[in-house]
Amino acid sequence: MLRRPARGVAGRSQTSALVMSVVGVGSAFLVLPLAALLIYFGGHRVGPPTTADLWQAMFNSVAASLISIVLVVLVGVPTGYWLHRHTTRRAHLLAMLLRLPLGVPPMVAGVMLLVAFGPESPIGRALGGRLVNTLAAIVLAQSFASLPYVVEGSRGAFGGLDPRAGIVARSLGMGPVAEMMQISIPLAWSSIRSSIILGYLRAFGEFGAVLLVAYSPFSLPVYTYVVFEGSGLGATAAPVLATLALSGLVALAISRLSWPSSRLLSLLERPARNRPPTAILEARTEGSRIRVEGMVGEFSLRAEFTAPRGCTVLLGPSGSGKTLTLNALCGSVAPGLEVSVDGEVGSMRSEAIGYVPQRFGLFPHLTLAQNMRLASIYGTRGRLPEQRLDQMRLEEFAKRMPGSLSGGQYQRAALARAMAANSSLVVLDEPLSALDAQMRLEHLRFIDSHVKSAVDYLFVVTHDVLEAAYLADRLVVMHGGRVLQEGRAGDVLGRPGSVEVARIIGADNVVMLPEHPDVEPELRGRTACFFSADLALAPPGPSEPAPGRRSIGNARVVEARRMPWQTEARLELAGTEIVARLRGVAGGELAVGTSVALSTLAERFYLF
C-alpha cells in the first residue's frame, strides 16, 4: 500500500493552519468594530430613534447614491472597456488621471470640486451659483469619489476575459458597442457587479467632499457628524444603524442583479430575410490573392497565398503565424499588421464570418440555441438556426449551456454556430486539437462531409499533416511567419520544395548521406528526407527492393526497442543515424549489431 510522506502532510497542515489564522485575524479586525458598536448601543442610553432630519438625510443619501451609481455605471463601464482595448500612451495617461481620486483625501476632493463647480467657477457662474448645497451637489461629490472604482474594476474584469471571445464577436461583424453589450459585459458581469457594489458603497459613505460642496441638505454621513458634534456618541445610534442597514440592503440588491442577455438578444432579432450569402472572396478560377504583412512585437509576419474555392489549409508548427494570419483576415488585425485581399487593403470580412478559434467555439454565457440565434442575427441567414442544429444532430441540446456539452458535442455545436453565421466562408483554427484520437477521426470525417461540402470557402489552421491531407484542396505551408510553399495538396505533399517543408509534412528522417560504399551511389552527398514508418529492413545482398520502394543502403542496428504494436529501431548508415518504426514479427526479431538493407516508399522519399 502506498502512503503519503508524513512530512508532506504535516507541511500542508501547517500551511493550512497559517492561512486560516490570517483569515481569522482579518475577519476579526473587520467584525470587531461592528460587534462593539452593537454592544455599545445595546448597553447605553441612546438618543431618539428617528427624527424628521434623519428621514430626510436617509432619503438624500439613498437617492443621491443611486443616481450617482447609475451615472457612474453608464460612464465607468464603457470607459473601462475602452481602456482595456487601447494600449496607447494616451490611454495610459487617461487611466492614470482617472485613478487620481483614489489617492486624494476626501476634503481635498471637495476643494477640487468647489474650484471646478463652485459659485466662483465658470461653470458655477453659468448655473447662477445654485449647484452647491443641493441634492445634485451630493450626486456630484459621490460620483467623483466612486467613478474610479467602477472604471478600474471594469477594466480589470474585461482584461480577464478570454481574448478569443472578442475575436469571434468581431468575426461576426459586431461593432465595439455590440461586442461590449452582448459579449464582454455578460462574460465579465460578476466582476463588474462587484466593482459597482464597491462604487455604490464608496458613494454612499462619502463624507469629506460632500461636506464641502453640499453641507445642507444633509447626507447620512454629514448628519451623523452633526449629531455627534452636538449631542455626543450615544445620539448617533439611529443614523449609524440606518447607514449600516441602507448600505447593506442596497449592496445586497445590486449583488442580485443579472445582465439581461436573453432580453438583449430578443430585442436584436429581426424578421428573417431571404438574403444570399455575401461574396466575401471573388469567385475567380485561380482564387483570391491574400497578403498579411507586418510586425507584431518582435515577430515578423509576411504571409501571401492564393485561396480558391474549396478548403485552404494553413499547415505549420506552433509559432508559424498561422492563427495570427487568420485572425487578421477575420477582422481582428493586430497592431502593426496590414491585410490585403486581391490588392485591396482591409480584412476579407464584409459582414459575418463563421469563425471557430482554437478551443473556443461558443459564447459560454448563452445556451446553444442562443449562440445560434446570435450568429444568425449578424450572419447571412443561409438557413434558420433550428435547421443548422438539426443538420448537426444537436436539436436535443438546444437549451443546454456550452459547459454542459461533451467534447464532441461542443465541437459540432461550434461548427453549427459558425455555419449559422455564414454559409459562404468558415474559418477553423485547430478544430480537432482538444479531442482524443478516436473523436478526432470522427470529427475529421464530419467536417469533410457536413462543413466542407456545405460552404464555398473553408479555411483550416492545423499542425497535423494527416488533417491537412484529409481536408485540403489547397495547402499553404508556413514557418517563421513566412509561406514556404503553396499549391494543390497532392503536389505539396508529393513534392515538397525544401527540406523544411519536408520536415513539416512529417518526414522525421532528414539526413545528409555521406560519400560511402554503404550508401546507394545516386544518393551520396545529398540530403534525403523520408518517414520512419515507411522504412523496411531486409538481409543485405544484391537483390532489388520491392516494387514502389527505393533502396537507401546497408545499415547496422544500434538499438531496438520493442513495443506492443511496433518496434522502434535506431540504425547507423555510414555514421549517420536513422530511425525506423517497424510493425510485425520481423521488427520484433531485430538484434543489435545486425546488418540490414534499408529501403523506403519511393513516393515519399525526397532528395535535395
pLDDT (average), residues 521-543 = 89
Report which residue type is found at 209: A
Instruction: Determine the pLDDT at residue 276.
Output: 45
Residue from 441, 386, 446, 438 nearest 415 by CA: 446
pLDDT in tens, 240-287: 989 999 999 999 999 999 999 888 888 776 544 444 444 455 545 567
Backbone angles phi, psi at 299, to 5 degrees: -95, 125
Whether 584 shows a pLDDT value over 70: the answer reads no
Out of 80-84, 301-305, 425-429, least confident range? 425-429
CATH topology for the 290-498 domain: Rossmann fold (3.40.50)
On average, the pLDDT of the chain sits at 85
* Position 154 confidence tier, pLDDT thresholds 50, 70, 90: very high
CATH topology for the 507-607 domain: OB fold (Dihydrolipoamide Acetyltransferase, E2P) (2.40.50)
Per-residue CA distances from 67 to 57, 58, 202, 419, 565 (Å): 15, 14, 13, 44, 72
pLDDT (average), residues 105-131 = 90
Cβ-contact 432, 400 below 8 angstroms: no
pLDDT (average), residues 517-524 = 90
Whether 54 shows a pLDDT value over 70: the answer reads yes
Residue from 217, 177, 238 nearest 61 by CA: 217
Instruction: Determine the pLDDT at residue 68.
Output: 96
Residue from 145, 138, 147, 131 nearest 95 by CA: 147
Whether 316 shows a pLDDT value over 70: the answer reads yes
Instruction: Determine the pLDDT at residue 391.
Output: 67
Cα radius of gyration (the chain): 34
* Position 65 confidence tier, pLDDT thresholds 50, 70, 90: very high
pLDDT (average), residues 184-191 = 96
- Cβ-based neighbours of 488, under 8 Å, separated by 6 or more: 473, 474, 475
Cβ-contact 480, 320 below 8 angstroms: yes
pLDDT (average), residues 537-562 = 87
Helix axes 89-99, 135-159, angle to 10 degrees: 130
**Cα end-to-end distance, the chain, whole Å:** 58
| Chain mean position to CA 314 | 21
Whether 500 shows a pLDDT value over 90: the answer reads yes
Report the share of the chain in percent with pLDDT over 90.
42
Cβ-contact 254, 200 below 8 angstroms: yes
* Position 41 confidence tier, pLDDT thresholds 50, 70, 90: confident
| Domain ranges for the chain | 52-258, 290-498, 507-607
More confident call, 199 vs 235: 199
Instruction: Determine the pLDDT at residue 272.
Output: 43
- Report the distance separating Cα 75 and Cα 199, nearest Å: 12
Residue that has been written with the C-alpha cell 451630493 in this structure: 138
* Position 486 confidence tier, pLDDT thresholds 50, 70, 90: very high
Cβ-contact 357, 414 below 8 angstroms: no
- Report the distance separating Cα 239 and Cα 245, nearest Å: 10
Whether 442 shows a pLDDT value over 60: the answer reads yes
Out of 194-198, 199-203, 241-245, 416-420, least confident range? 416-420
- Report the distance separating Cα 107 and Cα 109, nearest Å: 5
Check whether the bond before 217 is cis (ω within 30° of 0). yes
pLDDT (average), residues 344-360 = 71
| Max Cα–Cα distance, the chain, nearest Å | 115
Q: What is the 3-state secondary structure (H, E, C) of 243-291?
A: HHHHHHHHHHHHHCCCCCHHHHHHHHCCCCCCCCCCCCCCCCCCCEEEE
Backbone angles phi, psi at 115, to 5 degrees: -65, -35
- Report the distance separating Cα 417 and Cα 376, nearest Å: 8
pLDDT (average), residues 343-363 = 73
Instruction: Determine the pLDDT at residue 275.
Output: 44
Are 52-258 and 507-607 the same fold in CATH? no
Cell of 374: 446570435
pLDDT (average), residues 129-157 = 93
Instruction: Determine the pLDDT at residue 156.
Output: 95
- Report the distance separating Cα 21 and Cα 10, nearest Å: 16
Cβ-contact 171, 355 below 8 angstroms: yes
- Report the distance separating Cα 154 and Cα 246, nearest Å: 25
Report the share of the chain in percent with pLDDT over 70.
89
Report which residue type is found at 562: R
Instruction: Determine the pLDDT at residue 549.
Output: 92
| Three-class SS state of 57 | helix
Residue from 148, 120, 119 nearest 134 by CA: 119
Strand duo 354-356 + 425-429: pairing: parallel
- Report the distance separating Cα 78 and Cα 84, nearest Å: 10
Instruction: Determine the pLDDT at residue 274.
Output: 43
- Report the distance separating Cα 61 and Cα 202, nearest Å: 12
Backbone angles phi, psi at 593, to 5 degrees: 95, -10
pLDDT in tens, 99-111: 988 888 999 999 9
- Report the distance separating Cα 25 and Cα 20, nearest Å: 9
| Chain mean position to CA 279 | 28
DSSP-derived letter for residue 519 is B
- Bridge partners for 545 per DSSP: none
CATH of 52-258, one of 1.10.357.10, 1.10.1060.10, 1.10.3720.10, 3.40.640.10: 1.10.3720.10
pLDDT (average), residues 482-495 = 93
* Position 383 confidence tier, pLDDT thresholds 50, 70, 90: low
Whether 394 shows a pLDDT value over 60: the answer reads yes
- Residue 294 has, within 13 A of its CA and on its CB side, a CA count of 16
Sequence-separated contacts (24+) of 537-541 with Cβ below 8 Å: 537/569, 537/580, 537/582, 537/586, 537/587, 537/590, 537/596, 537/597, 537/598, 538/596, 538/597, 538/599, 539/596, 539/597, 540/595, 540/596, 540/597, 541/597
Cα torsion for 149, 155, 156, 157, to the nearest 10°?
100
Instruction: Determine the pLDDT at residue 278.
Output: 44
Strand duo 595-601 + 549-562: pairing: antiparallel
pLDDT (average), residues 303-319 = 92
